[in-house]
């Protein structure tokens, strides 16, 4: 499952030849990181994290990459702390909060392996990726050659850079990603 395929990018750009495939693939791969910086993992991937919990344990812990699809394993890092059967735990996918089903406390440190991502790529995120590739591909043609057939239009007239991304992400892409945006505290 890819956030955006080369064929989808070529379709968006109305490219029918394979002449630029290698270069265009770099753009396709690049938009994934930029989009996932705003919405978290889209393509499913396995993540392993170390969670150091307070000495008295904790009622819950929060996974760092959201959304979470499923828990793989929750094992003890030290012999003095227990591991947990994932069947005895609940994970809230959108928030990444993990709790014991019996209401007990979690003790650590714990090494947690889980799948983060969305399972399927929402059509709105795919559309945002297409528009972003189109926006970035325009740099191949220079300001005087921005032709409508290769993505001409007015989305490059951005009034100010967006939080560290400069002009790489047009407002319309950010607006499409808004419903999927990560909560502010997630890094």
Least confident of 51-65, 102-116, 135-149, 151-165: 151-165
Does residue 76 have a cis bond before it (omega within 30 degrees)?
no
Domain map (residue ranges) of the chain: 6-42+120-180, 45-116
Q: pLDDT grade, residue 178 (50/70/90)?
A: very high
pLDDT of residue 22: 96
pLDDT beyond 70 at 6: yes
User: What percent of the chain lies above the pLDDT cut of 70?
Assistant: 82
pLDDT of residue 1: 65
Higher-scoring residue by pLDDT: 33, 164: 33
DSSP state of 89: E
> For the chain, how far is it from start to end, CA to CA, in angstroms?
24
Least confident of 39-53, 68-82, 152-166: 152-166
Question: How far is Cα 90 from Cα 155, in angstroms, rounded to an integer?
Answer: 43
Neighbouring-strand partners of residue 45: 116
pLDDT of residue 158: 47
Least confident of 3-12, 76-85, 156-165: 156-165
Question: How far is Cα 59 from Cα 61, in angstroms, rounded to an integer?
Answer: 7
pLDDT beyond 60 at 97: yes
Supply 42's token pair.
């889209």
Q: What is the model's pTM?
A: 0.74
Question: How far is Cα 70 from Cα 37, in angstroms, rounded to an integer?
Answer: 21
């Amino acid at each position: 499952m890819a956030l955006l395929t080369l064929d989808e990018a070529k379709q968006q750009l109305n490219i029918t030849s394979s002449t630029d495939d290698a270069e265009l693939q770099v753009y396709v791969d690049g938009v994934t990181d930029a989009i996932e910086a705003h919405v978290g993992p889209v393509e499913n991937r396995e993540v392993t994290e170390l969670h150091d919990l307070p000495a008295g344990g904790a009622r819950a812990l929060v996974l760092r990459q959201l959304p979470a699809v499923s828990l793989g394993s929750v094992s003890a890092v030290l012999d003095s702390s227990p591991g947990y059967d994932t069947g005895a735990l609940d994970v809230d996918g959108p928030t990444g909060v993990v709790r014991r089903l019996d209401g007990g406390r979690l003790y650590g440190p714990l090494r947690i392996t889980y799948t983060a991502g969305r399972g399927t790529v929402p059509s709105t995120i795919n559309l945002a990726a297409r528009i972003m590739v189109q926006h970035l591909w325009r740099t191949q043609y220079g300001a005087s050659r921005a032709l409508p057939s290769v993505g001409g239009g007015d989305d490059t007239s951005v009034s100010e850079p967006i939080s560290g991304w400069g002009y790489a992400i047009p407002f319309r892409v950010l607006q499409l990603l808004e419903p999927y945006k990560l909560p502010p505290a997630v890094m």
